[in-house]
Amino acid sequence: MNDTRQGSVIWTYLVLTVAFCALPYFLIGYTGEVGGGNAGYVTALMWGPALAAIVTVAWKKLDWASLGFAWRDTRSSWYSYLLPILYAAVAYVIIWTTGMGGFAEPASIAALAERLGWTFTDPGRFVPAYFLFVGITGIIAGTARGLGEEIGWRGFLAPRLHDRFGFTGGAAVTGVIWTLWHVPLIIFANYNSGAPQWFALTCFFVMVMNLSFIMAWFRLKSGSVWPAAIMHGSHNLYIQTIYTPLTAPKGDITAYAIDEFGFLIPLTTFVVALLLWLRRDRAIAAYDARRASGEAS
C-alpha cells in the first residue's frame, strides 16, 4: 500500500473513532462518572476504536487478517498477562513499605469483603483469596473491554504507523493518540486517583507512552492483537481492582503515588518499555519475516 493510501486509511480510522466515541464521551461527561450507566458508557467508549477499525477495513476493502485476530503466540500472551502484575507489584510494594499508602488495612478489606459478600476479613486469608478470585474471574471481563481498544490501537493502527514511522516513531504516535483519547475522561469525569489534574495528566501521559511501546513490541513480535488485549485487561484489573483498593490513604502523598495517575507506575512501566525498546530488533524481525512470507501482519 502506497503512503498516500496508507495515510488516507489512517485518517479515515481516526475520524471514525471520534465519531463512534462521541456519544459515550457525552454520556460520561454528563454524569461525571467513568462508571456511569452501570459501566455501560465506558464499555461503549472502549469499543469505539474497534468499531472504527472494522468499518475502515470494510470501507477501504483491506485484509481482515491485518487486524491480528489470529492466535499465534501463547508465550507472548502469558507474558502480557504477567507483566502488569509484576510492574504494578513493584510500585505498590514501594508504596506500602515507605508509608505512602497502607496495605490491606481493616477498612479496605471490609469494603472489598462487603462488595463480594465474603464474611472473613483476616488479611492472611482475605488477600490471597482476593488476588486468586479476582485475578481469574476479572481477566475475562477486563480482556473483553480491553479488546475493544486494542483492535483499534494495536490491531489496526500500530502496524500501519510502524510501516510509516518505524518502531519508535510508530509507537510514539500511537501513544500520543491513545493519551488524547483518554484526556476527556480525566478532565470532564472522575478518572483520577485524587491528585491535581495537571499531575494526573502528566503521570498518565508518561505511563501510556510506556505501555504503547510495550504493546507495540508484543503486537509486532506475535503478529496478533491478543497479547495487547490481555495486557490491557490485566493492567486495568490489577491496578484498578486489586492493588489500589487494597491500599489505604496515608495523607495527601497517597494520591500522588498510586494508580495510573501517580508517579510510580510510570517509573516501573518505563523500565519495561526501555528493556523491550532495546530489544526492538527481535519484534521488527518477526514482523518483517511474516510480511516477507505473505502472512498478515
Mean pLDDT by 10 residues, the chain (297 residues): 80 98 97 94 97 97 95 93 98 98 94 94 95 95 96 97 97 98 96 93 98 98 97 98 96 96 98 98 96 80
The owner of cell 504503547 is 212
Residue 73: predicted pLDDT: 87
Torsion angle, alpha carbons of 274, 275, 277, 283, to 10: -160
Residue 126: predicted pLDDT: 97
Quick one: CA dihedral 119, 125, 130, 133, positive or negative?
A: negative
Q: Which three cell numbers stand for residue 177?
A: 493518540
d(CA 294, CA 297): 9
Residue 193: predicted pLDDT: 87
Domain boundaries of the chain, sorted by first residue: 70-292
Strand partners, 248: 102
Residue 136: predicted pLDDT: 93
Please say whether the beta carbons of 290 and 162 come within 8 A.
Answer: no
d(CA 170, CA 130): 38
Residue 163: predicted pLDDT: 95
d(CA 77, CA 61): 29
Residue 1: predicted pLDDT: 64
Residue 297: predicted pLDDT: 72
Torsion angle, alpha carbons of 173, 64, 293, 291, to 10: -10
